[in-house]
A = this chain, B = another copy of it.
Amino acid sequence: MSADIDKGHPAPSVRRLPMYLHYLRELRNTGKKNISCTHIANDLGLVPVQVRKDLAITKIVGRPKTGYELLALIDAIEDFLGWNTPHEALLLGVGCLGSAVLGYDGFAEEGLKIVAAFDTDPKKIGETIVNTKVYRVDKIQEIAEARSVQIGILTVPGDVAQQSANALVEAGVRAIWNYTPVKLELPDTVVCEDVRLSSSLALLTSRLKGLCSAT
């Protein structure tokens, strides 16, 4: 019945937005007021038309000859991504990876605020790791509901990934950022994004192999 059959936006474009945002924020310090796609493309090693298409999904409007107003563009990207209003998140699994995610201060710039962490290890429960308190896993529901947290970050071992995801869904979480190698089964009312470090490494090592054998 809806007039616009929203197919969403091209994932490759959305993936490039944080790169533009990072670049534009740096540029802000130089006092520049306007920026064109030509300059962005040059500095980031892309072609201008791709930058234009990517930025267009944020609904930003530029002016011929001058380009985009820098601050308006930054706002538009943040708005599109939802990074101007902080998202609260829960983190499950305070191992090496979980601690790193807790400690990574870059997420603040991306509107992500981890409000509580959870683990099964009694030694960790009650501890405070990088300003975040670690709770027992059975407290997820209580804390999630109290603050109506929408995002869950999964940094647990693979063998408990699905059950951890289930707990997050039951607690009302709407989005799961999955750092485990497990393919999660989720209701389609929940969005999930897999961080697959091994995919990235696969590309690196296979290209390294190509480099060597080409000689």
Which A positions have Cβ atoms within 8 angstroms of B?
6, 8-9, 11, 14-19, 22, 44-45, 80-83, 87, 95-97, 99-104, 106-107, 110-112, 130, 150-151, 174-175, 177, 181, 183, 189, 191-212, 214
Q: From A208, which residue of chain B is reached at the shortest CB distance?
A: B175
CB-CB under 8 A from A95, the residues of chain B are: 103
Q: A6-B210, A100-B96, A211-B189 are in contact. Are A195 and B200 (CB under 8 A)?
A: yes
Q: How far is the CB of A153 from chain B (nearest CB, A)?
A: 10
Name the distance in Å between A182's Cβ and chain B's nearest Cβ.
Answer: 9
A99 vs B99: C-alpha distance when bound (angstroms): 9
Instruction: Give bound CA distance, A18 to B194, whole Å.
Output: 13
How many copies of this chain does one complex carry?
Answer: 2
Assess whether B203 is in contact with A193, with CB atoms less than 8 Å apart. yes
State whether A8 and B197 are in contact (beta carbons under 8 Å apart), knowing that A181-B22, A202-B81, A203-B15 are contacts in the complex.
Answer: no
Please indicate the chain B residues that have their CB under 8 angstroms from the CB of A111 in the complex: 205
Interface of A is mostly: helix
Q: Decide: B18 and A198 in contact? CB cutoff 8 A.
A: yes
- Contact status of A14 and B203, CB under 8 A, knowing A8-B210, A181-B106: yes
Q: Closest B-chain residue to A44, C-beta based?
A: B183
Q: Would you call A191 and B177 a contact (CB within 8 A)?
A: no
Inter-subunit contact B206/A80 (CB<8 Å): yes
| Bound CA span A96–B212, Å | 32
Query: 20 other contacts beyond A15-B203, A18-B198, with CB at 8 A cut-off?
Result: A14-B199, A15-B200, A18-B181, A19-B196, A19-B198, A19-B199, A22-B181, A81-B202, A81-B209, A95-B103, A97-B100, A99-B100, A111-B205, A151-B205, A175-B205, A175-B207, A175-B208, A193-B207, A194-B200, A195-B197
